Structure 1
Amino acid sequence: MDISAKATRLLELHHTGTTLVLPNVWDAWSARAVADAGFGALSIGSHPLADSRGQGDNEDMSLDDALDGVRRICSAVPDVPVTADMEAGYGATPAELIERLLEAGAVGLNIEDTVHSEGGRLRSVAEHADYIGGLRQAADAAGVDVVVNARTDAFIKKDQFEDPAAEAITRLLACEEAGARCTYPVGAPDAETLQRLLDALAGPVNVIANPRKGSAAGSLEDLQTMGVHRVTFGPLLQKELAPDLAALVAPWK
């Protein structure tokens, strides 16, 4: 499957009427294991990828570091569409980021509005939307249906806002208008808030979940009933595996 076909397939999976679950992988081994489990598309989490490399999240990796990991994962599952968390862009222009992401083999990306390389500042509504719009324009110019997933940290930085949900909606509506194909209000605290977001936003919405414990808004079945379009695990899949690994090897010490 060529890069354009993989991108179109990933985009189509967001509009099937069922909830798309994209487990977050971090290396070639985990990618092959999840693909072999029957998942038709995968996500790369920046945090687990950084952990697998012995580096830190929050843009402690360089763009070269991150794309090296992306390339290895995409090469391991050549027929599976892969989307990658690219944090706030690692200082790259939108055109550079899209060009290099596609060259590495990924066909989607998360971009958040917290710029960790600049002291963790939060981009303004317009600044974040402009960056998202630049990504979409670059993807369109390349003729590839890259799935740009616009993330906001309004709930994580909730102390900055009187109404974090309203701020998240404002930010994500601007990103949708700019060309985001999916939006990601990370940290939405409960089902009521998530429903408010789903009602306000026009396109697919991404929810984070723990593969053992579900999401803040409930189980996969609950999310499906609400009409959630996409679920990812962030660093939580890797985190949940650590105690299992320790328990497996402990009797041999």
Structure 2
Amino acid sequence: MNDVLKGRAEALLALHRPGNPVVLPTVWDAWSARLAVDAGFAALTAGSHPLADSIGKEDNEGMVFDDVLTRVAQITAAVDVPLSVDIESGYGEAPERLIEGLLSAGAVGLNIEDTVHGEGGRLRSSAEHAELVAGLREAADKAGVRVVVNARTDLFLRQDGDEADRVDRAIARLTEAAEAGADVLYPVGVHPPEVMRRLTSELPLPVNAIARPDQSDPSSYGPLGVARISFGPFWQAALAERSKELLARWI
């Protein structure tokens, strides 16, 4: 199994090409995963928000890590493509437990954010976040699989601090995570083109952008230097709106 996981992890990392972004539809169960793979996508990501919604839990670590692993294992049993998993801020688990759990469930990538939901939603310092990234990298190395670590910062989502230097602080924070062993960097938020260009040009690793599958222009991300596109909760939300329309016909 380790050889399979190694191959999937290597394949996932190779898909990250700045200017020619890989699209990883954000799935939440076996059904949505099969839908995306049947449509032709080569890899997937499981999002914490849609995952939590799918089992009646709240986002921001309303699930426990074992809940996540149960769902992840269902997804990887249903599709034969690399899967990355949004593990929020780590569910209070040690890096070794996070890596072991993800690999045992068949995942080969992860998102790790710097908001600590289990501690009142505080923001980790950049050094603290980098230390966690380093711990995840070390644990993955010990397991023998190059788990693709996507280091996320919530500075834009939280509108943290002064807007005038927010991009500078995000670049500094994510650069520190890159030096600690991240593979991909995720300044989560919907950014104006000039901000995204600056992020992709000044950050040292491939950059993940978020998109709305029913509204965003797929061709707009490559020219901005983006290497990875995911949907966050927006694909599930778009399906929910369409479902309301269908169901309303019968009320």
| TM-score, shorter chain, exceeding 0.5 | yes
Structure 2 unpaired stretches of 5+? none
Where has structure 1 moved over 4 Å in runs of 4 or more? none
CA–CA separation in structure 1 for the residues paired with 2:120 and 2:173:
20
- For the pair 1:147 / 2:148, whether they are aligned, the reply is yes
1:41 to 24, 40, 43: 43
- Give the superposed CA RMSD: 1.3
What corresponds to 1:243 in structure 2?
A: 241
2:31 to 23, 29, 32: 29
- The change in CA–CA distance for 1:8 and 1:159 in structure 2 (over 3 A counts) is closer
Task: Give the SS at the match of 1:165.
Answer: helix
Structure 1 unpaired stretches of 5+? none
CA–CA separation in structure 2 for the residues paired with 1:134 and 1:159:
25
129-138 vs 14-23, greater mean Cα deviation = 14-23
Cα offset for 1:97? 0.5
How many residues are treated as equivalent by the alignment? 248
- For the pair 1:108 / 2:109, whether they are aligned, the reply is yes
- Quote the sequence identity (%): 54
Which AA in structure 2 matches 1:175?
Answer: A
- For the pair 1:133 / 2:131, whether they are aligned, the reply is no
TM-score relative to the length of structure 2: 0.95
CA–CA separation in structure 1 for the residues paired with 2:161 and 2:96:
31
CA–CA separation in structure 2 for the residues paired with 1:163 and 1:220:
29
Deviations 1:135-174 (A, max 9, x none): 1111111111111000000112224245111111011000
What corresponds to 1:73 in structure 2?
A: 75
CA–CA separation in structure 2 for the residues paired with 1:17 and 1:170:
22
Cα offset for 1:220? 2.1
2:53 to 31, 51, 54: 51
TM-score relative to the length of structure 1: 0.94
Cα offset for 1:250? 2.4
CA–CA separation in structure 2 for the residues paired with 1:15 and 1:252:
46
